Amino acid sequence: MFILILKIIYKPIKCLKIKRKVVYISRQFNKETLDFKLIEEKMNELYPEVKNVVLAKRMEKGLVNNIKYFFHMIVQMYHIATSKVVIVDSYCIVLSVLKHKKQTKVIQIWHAISAIKKFGYQTIGKTTGADQQIADLMCMHKNYDYVLCASKITKNYFIEAFNTNEQNIKYLALPRIDYIKQRDEDKEKEIYDTYPELKKKINILYVPTFRKFRKVKINDVIQRIDTKKYNLIVKLHPLDKKNYKYLEKDGVIYDGKFNSYDLLKICDKVVTDYSSLAMEASVLKKPLYFYIYDWKIYKEDPGLNFNFKKEEIGKYATNSPVKLLRMLEREYDYNTLEKFSNRYISVDTRGCTEKIVQFVMELMNDEYEENIEKVHSESSKEELTV
């Protein structure tokens, strides 16, 4: 009934004319994401005649929030129906369950540059994944014309996760690569002004991935780490429950102000687990370590695309806090890090944002040229008739 209502509402909206417009849709956050922001800024710089509309809203629990989101979906319908290109970084109900105009092209950029952990159709039937019937009913990850991908290895994961095929894969890296490669002295100053202690010691950034039903295990590392030598910056996932309590200690910073990419620029070493931030860290050649204390659980649910035992970088993976701290003390093998980076981000990472913008404009202008040809064809027919 819900999908039927959406279809009934969408039918007259689809009659509206398509404009030279790009709409960006996300339900990851309630504000514009970094990738969207970078694309929009570059679009405005190079093609100011194209309109850009950002629709970022999380689907929160509760009746009132559901009602608000329903009206937000109607707004989504309007902009999808009147846009030539739609860019999405997560699952969107309206995009997937409704049938759209052939002229409208949908690009899934996803919110992670790779997929160490499984997601989407890879996790169907698992506790952290969707139910098969619900996935089918809600047409999960349908209607994408293109899926952006940074390497041939990641392509295989994305084909499975989005239940798509190779012809829909477009090899482009995310705009965030441009951002992390560019130094921002003002942002650095803001970080150091907020945390002046970061200027005094070696800074380790710990970015654990989200665990849907479990608390992140941090205290074992915090208890043992030498905070006379190190600062430990803990950057929890935005979805991590705020009521979880973690050990407080001098030299340990629980940051909630800055984004992970800005902290990545000023840190000396990076510790993560199954987060794709590992890929971004490798681009900046930051010594990378994997603290995978729960990998036996994680490889079963949601599952892992990444085999730490077979990957060369796996020598920097451990489930022991003691071994992790020992690794941090040893000389790092940057050659292994470079191989890892080149393996999972094999596309050209120069001007990532501009490459995406040019691809968007190719799709935009294809339709534009088709309309011009149609007008010329109709004009020629009229002349022949006369």
* Residue range 155-206, pLDDT digits in tens: 999 999 999 999 999 999 999 999 999 999 999 999 999 999 999 999 999 9
Radius of gyration of the chain (CA): 23
CATH value at residue 241: 3.40.50.12580
d(CA 237, CA 15): 41
Shared domain for 139 and 217, answered yes or no, is: no
In a domain, 266, yes or no: yes
Task: Name the residue with tokens 């909630």.
Answer: 256
Give the pTM: 0.90
Residue 42 maps to a domain: yes
Task: Verify that 160 and 48 share a domain, yes or no.
Answer: yes
Q: pLDDT tens digits for 2-52?
A: 999 999 999 999 999 999 999 999 998 899 999 999 999 999 999 999 999
- Same domain assignment for residues 128 and 168: yes
Alpha-carbon span 122 to 156, nearest angstrom: 11
Per DSSP, the residues of 266-333 read H-SEEEESS-THHHHHHHTT--EEEE-TTHHHHIIIIIBS--TTTSGGGGGEES-HHHHHHHHHSPP-
One domain, residues 262 and 304: yes
pLDDT tier at 241, thresholds 50, 70, 90:
low
* d(C-alpha 33, C-alpha 208), whole Å: 20
Does position 81 have pLDDT exceeding 50, yes or no?
yes
At residue 165, φ and ψ (nearest 5 deg) are -130, 170
202, two tokens: 């070696």
Q: What is the number of domains present in the chain?
A: 2
Three-class secondary structure of residue 149 per DSSP: strand
Residue 91 lies in a domain: yes
Whether residues 197 and 218 fall in one domain: yes
Residue with tokens 């040809």: 373
Look up the domain containing 280 and give its range. Answer: 184-344
Q: How far is CA 227 from the centre of its chain?
A: 32
What local confidence, expressed as pLDDT, does residue 212 receive? Answer: 75
Of 204, 252, 251, which is closest to residue 228 (Cα–Cα)?
251
| pLDDT tens figures, 113-133 | 999 999 999 999 998 888 999
pLDDT tens digits, one per residue of 296-343: 999 999 999 999 999 999 999 999 999 999 999 999 999 999 999 999
What is the C-alpha separation between 50 and 369, in angstroms, rounded? 15
Q: Are residues 46 and 135 in the same domain?
A: yes
